[in-house]
Amino acid sequence: MKNQLILITALLAGFPLSAEDLKNPAIQYARFAKLTQELGPVRAKNRISEKEFITMAAESGTVVLDARSQDKFDAIHVKGARHLAFTDFTAEALKKLIPDNTTRILIYCNNNFDNEPINLARKSAPVALNIQTFINLYAYGYKNVRELGPLLDVKTTKIPFEGSAVK
């Protein structure tokens, strides 16, 4: 509340705010930027092909995770995928869905698929959901994450889909 009053007062008075005025230990952009840099090479090594994705998804103990919104997941998702919206990622929610943080997790996002403009609508490339999902899973202690790499046509990919929009 005190920080909000300082912010409102400063904005109304036209005063610039210092970084100290906005200090919040629960938001650490510098640590996020550092983590992003550290994970770049890890993520690059953990991107997989369509064939590898299909093979790994079929293996016991692997979790295919869809972090899109519930309505988009309900409409179309990789067959057998489990759902947890990115906005709902917390240590507790992830632990409930994936209790063992050594579990192999496969991720994908809208930007992996073409020709489904409504339920797999393309996002801006620098902020594709795969990027944030990979970083967040790693930050929460899940280090065995693999990311679908290529852009695939939803109509011709060998990856099976299910959901209300699947014909």
Terminal C-alpha separation, the chain: 51
What per-residue confidence (pLDDT) applies to 9?
A: 55
98 close to 85: Cβ distance less than 8 angstroms: no
* Rounded (to 5) percent helix, strand, coil in the chain: 40, 15, 45
What is the predicted pLDDT for the residue at 11?
A: 54
- Residue 1 domain-assigned? no
Q: Residue for token digits 């200090």?
A: 23
Is 12 contained in some domain?
A: no
Q: What is the pLDDT along the chain (167 residues), one digit of tens a residue?
A: 666 655 555 555 565 655 655 788 888 888 999 999 999 999 999 999 999 999 999 999 999 999 999 999 999 999 999 999 999 999 999 999 999 999 999 999 999 999 999 999 999 999 999 999 999 999 999 999 999 999 999 999 999 999 999 98
Number of domains in the chain: 1
Measured between alpha carbons, how far is 114 from 157 in angstroms, rounded to an integer?
Answer: 10
The model carries a pTM of 0.86
Q: Is 154 inside any structural domain?
A: yes
Who's near 97: CB < 8 A, 6+ residues apart? 63, 65, 82, 84
pLDDT, position 12: 58
The confidence score (pLDDT) of residue 22 equals 77
- DSSP 8-state class, residue 131: H
Residue 27 belongs to some domain of the structure: no
Place of tokens 């899973």: 137
In a domain, 143, yes or no: yes
Query: Which residues form the domain of 76?
Result: 46-162
Residue 24 covered by a domain: no
In this structure, are residues 60 and 38 in contact, taking their beta carbons and an 8 Å threshold?
no
Asked if the structure places residue 139 within a domain, the reply is: yes
What CATH number is associated with residue 143? 3.40.250.10
The answer to whether residue 58 is domain-embedded is yes
Q: What is the per-residue DSSP string for 145-158?
A: EEEE-S-EETTT-S
